[in-house]
């Protein structure tokens, strides 16, 4: 289980970006993390994967625990080795390496003898990649690159998969396909923490969700609760007339309406 408690993160020693965030992902659970641009979603993932320091970021308060062990201070490779793998924002595949080499790169921390077999298993799971196994990954379409990014993360044999906006820039049909893949990975027992601005997709896949705004969790509940929540509907599912104000403004607006009626 991943348990983040009262996490505070600062960039460049001065910019406070996460202001006491608490969040948990139980074993095998799928959790959505929603929030608009700049809310701190990617920063939260960096705090889990150990990648904050290369961005001049630092945890100044709180804890990140994975199965009871503190992750702060561990090297990124050590964290992957403990079963936490990430699909990064904007699908950072290696464009000059082939599809197969990208998959092998996802297993860089493994020392077991089953890496080759896992490459074949991933190519079987993603038939669109199988036909392109020897092509440079940079030539794949956006959707194919996203599949490759997910397949590469799975090569680490994670128990927890972190995904940073996997639907970004994809056509609706491909978003559905990516959601299907994430759902089936989760159904195989891999816990998922899914960062998305596409709330409809994320809440479809997830059991539970959190809404992050300017570094704070302003809302959390089951996926069903969030889907039915008027504030979430208005702001993230685009069903209201209020336009894209901040989530908190939408909340206040509703509260005021309730007082007036």
Of positions 2, 7, 21, 42, contacts ligand ATP by CB under 6 A: 42
DSSP string, 130-160: HTTTTSBGGGS-HHHHHHHHHHHHHTT--SE
The tokens of 44 are what? 């939260």
Nearest to 71 by CA among 55, 56, 84: 84
Whether 222 and 231 have beta carbons less than 8 Å apart is answered as: no
209 binds ligand ATP per the rule CB under 6 A: no
256 binds, among Mg ion, ligand ATP, none (CB under 5 to 8 A by kind): none
Of positions 12, 112, 259, 261, contacts ligand ATP by CB under 6 A: 12
Residue 14: CB partners within 8 Å, gap ≥ 6? none
Rg of the chain over all Cα atoms, to the nearest angstrom: 19
Of positions 6, 26, 27, 55, contacts ligand ATP by CB under 6 A: 55
42 binds Mg ion per the rule CB under 5 A: yes
C-alpha torsion angle, residues 155, 156, 161, 165 (rounded to 10): -60
Of positions 2, 4, 10, 43, contacts ligand ATP by CB under 6 A: 43
Of positions 2, 10, 17, 223, contacts ligand ATP by CB under 6 A: 17
Minimum CB separation from Mg ion for residue 49, in Å?
A: 13
Nearer to ligand ATP among residue 15 and residue 187 (C-beta): 15
Contact range with ligand ATP by CB under 6 A, out of 40-48, 102-110, 182-190, 235-243:
40-48
**C-alpha–C-alpha distance, residues 195 and 30, integer Å:** 11
Residue 112: CB partners within 8 Å, gap ≥ 6? none
Nearer to ligand ATP among residue 89 and residue 249 (C-beta): 89
Residue 202: CB partners within 8 Å, gap ≥ 6? 32, 33, 34, 194, 196, 209
Contact range with ligand ATP by CB under 6 A, out of 33-41, 79-87, 100-108, 253-261:
33-41
41 binds ligand ATP per the rule CB under 6 A: yes
Nearer to Mg ion among residue 42 and residue 167 (C-beta): 42
Contact residues for ligand ATP, defined by CB under 6 A: 11-12, 15, 17, 35, 37-43, 55-56, 89
Contact residues for Mg ion, defined by CB under 5 A: 41-42
């Amino acid at each position: 289980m991943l348990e983040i408690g009262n996490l505070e993160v600062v960039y460049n020693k001065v910019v406070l970006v996460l202001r006491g965030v608490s969040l948990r992902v139980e074993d095998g659970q799928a959790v959505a993390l929603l929030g608009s641009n700049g809310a701190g979603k990617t920063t939260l993932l960096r705090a889990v994967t150990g990648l904050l320091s290369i961005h001049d970021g630092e945890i100044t308060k709180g804890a990140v625990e994975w199965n009871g062990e503190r992750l702060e201070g561990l090297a990124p490779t050590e964290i992957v080795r403990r079963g936490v793998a990430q699909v990064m924002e904007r699908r950072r595949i290696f464009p000059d390496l082939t599809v197969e080499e990208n998959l092998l790169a996802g297993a860089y921390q493994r020392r077991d003898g089953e890496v080759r077999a896992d490459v074949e298993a991933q190519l079987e799971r993603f038939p669109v990649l199988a036909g392109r196994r020897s092509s440079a990954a940079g030539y794949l379409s956006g959707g194919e690159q996203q599949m490759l990014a997910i397949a590469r993360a799975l090569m680490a044999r994670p128990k927890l998969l972190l995904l940073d906006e996997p639907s970004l820039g994809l056509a609706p049909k491909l978003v559905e396909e990516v959601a299907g893949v994430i759902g089936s990975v989760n159904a195989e027992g891999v816990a998922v923490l899914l960062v998305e601005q596409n709330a409809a997709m994320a809440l479809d896949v997830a059991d539970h969700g959190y809404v992050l705004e300017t570094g704070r969790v302003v809302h959390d509940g089951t996926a069903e609760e969030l889907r039915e929540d008027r504030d979430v509907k208005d702001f993230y599912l685009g069903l209201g007339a209020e336009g894209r104000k901040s989530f908190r403004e939408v909340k206040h607006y509703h509260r005021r309406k309730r007082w007036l009626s």
